Amino acid sequence: MHFTSVSDVGDVNALVEAALALKKAPLAFQHLGKNKTLGLIFLNPSLRTRLSTQKAAQNLGMQVMTVNADKDSWALEFQDGVVMDGVTVEHIRDAAPVLGAYCDILGVRCFPKLASKEEDYSEHIMRQFMRFAGKPYLSLESATLHPLQSLADAVTLAEHRPAHRPRVVLSWAPHIKPLPQAVANSFAEWMNRLEVELVITHPEGYELDPRFAGRARIEHDQQKALEGADFVYVKNWSSYADYGKILCRDSAWMLTENHLKHSNRARVMHCLPVRRNVELSDEVLDGPRGLVQAQAENRVFAAQAVLKQMLENDR
């Protein structure tokens, strides 16, 4: 079993319930990962994904090995047939089977380069790790998706769910750097599989790939979108159409208390790391609406539910 997107999950609600059960009894399956090794390969930085996945694996009795491939291993080459007389030292065809030999499950974080839409959206790097390592693959955020984050978000929503079908608004926020679409794509893809009303609000030109936006209602007027919202998920992403570009720097899109006055006492979410007072105001983050710490805590149980399923399926 691989875990790269919501498509790898049969029953999303059951996986959310499994994560909530593990939260109540995190050490109940300590035997399951005995003598199993999880490899975590980071081609990009991480705080939460690294530590929550490690903690999840330890809760299941697994051993964990981590490589910061952007810093402390050889620079990897992903193109076939190149003469390697430049900066890259080792080809993925040689490195990935080594990792596969050392690990039972391989987790990889590989952000998009945001230069070529075709290359990023083909998940070129992820697919090569999967192909040449030959072991179950756990996405720690790929070029286009961040499924462990989205599962933790779904768990957090389930914990704070109102009695009615909630209105969930994904609200674009400004940022000083061009960021991947992965968190937004992934959140939309998972929400499309749950009993929620999904609204996405962003400036013109920030439309997500329709494959991920699915049945979401797109509303360019942020105030209108936020009316009656039960949950607001704040995130920046760079343009998909004008690939990797920043098209809007309007600070009016930063979510503040004032934006939420016509919401349904909305709770506010963000995957972190957040640029305070650029994407989201201090008052929202530090006030009673904020759910960001709950989301971060739930990353452990999301990862644990997925690892548990992977270990059980590959027994």
The verdict on 303 binding ligand AN0 (CB under 6 A) reads no
The verdict on 180 binding ligand AN0 (CB under 6 A) reads yes
Tokens representing residue 188 in the block: 């939309």
* Closest separation in Å from C-beta 122 to ligand AN0: 18
The verdict on 179 binding ligand AN0 (CB under 6 A) reads yes
The verdict on 66 binding ligand CP (CB under 6 A) reads no
The verdict on 271 binding ligand CP (CB under 6 A) reads yes
Percent helix, percent strand, percent coil in the chain, to nearest 5: 40, 15, 45
Q: Which of ligand CP, ligand AN0, none does residue 179 bind to, with CB < 5 to 8 Å depending on kind?
A: ligand AN0
Which of 263, 304 has the CB closer to ligand CP?
304
The verdict on 183 binding ligand AN0 (CB under 6 A) reads yes
The verdict on 281 binding ligand CP (CB under 6 A) reads no
Instruction: Classify strands 197-201 and 37-42 as parallel, antiparallel or unpaired.
Output: unpaired
Amino acid identity for residue 243 in this structure: Y
The phi, psi pair for 44, rounded to 5°, reads: -145, 165
* Closest separation in Å from C-beta 48 to ligand CP: 4
First-last CA distance in the chain: 11
Tokens representing residue 223 in the block: 């105030």
Q: Which of ligand CP, ligand AN0, none does residue 182 bind to, with CB < 5 to 8 Å depending on kind?
A: ligand AN0
* Alpha-carbon distance values, 199 to 168, 173, 220 (Å): 6, 15, 10
Interacting stretch for ligand CP, rule CB under 6 A, among 89-97, 196-204, 232-240, 268-276?
A: 268-276
Site for ligand CP in 153-192 (CB under 6 A): none
Site string for ligand AN0, 237-276 (x = CB under 6 A): ----------------------------------x-x---
Interacting stretch for ligand CP, rule CB under 6 A, among 5-13, 59-67, 267-275, 276-284?
A: 267-275
Tokens representing residue 86 in the block: 């430049």
Site for ligand CP in 200-219 (CB under 6 A): none
Contacting ligand CP (CB under 6 A), which of 48, 117, 175, 259? 48
The phi, psi pair for 11, rounded to 5°, reads: -115, 105
The contacts found for 111-115 with CB under 8 angstroms, 24 or more apart, are 111/43, 111/44, 111/141, 111/143, 111/180, 111/182, 112/143, 112/144, 112/180, 112/181, 112/182, 112/244, 114/178, 114/180, 114/238, 114/243, 114/244, 115/244
The verdict on 293 binding ligand CP (CB under 6 A) reads no
> Which uninterrupted H or E stretch holds 93?
helix 92-102
Contacting ligand CP (CB under 6 A), which of 2, 37, 46, 178? 46
Q: Which residues bind ligand CP (CB under 6 A)?
A: 46-49, 149, 271-273
Q: Which residues bind ligand AN0 (CB under 6 A)?
A: 179-180, 182-183, 271, 273
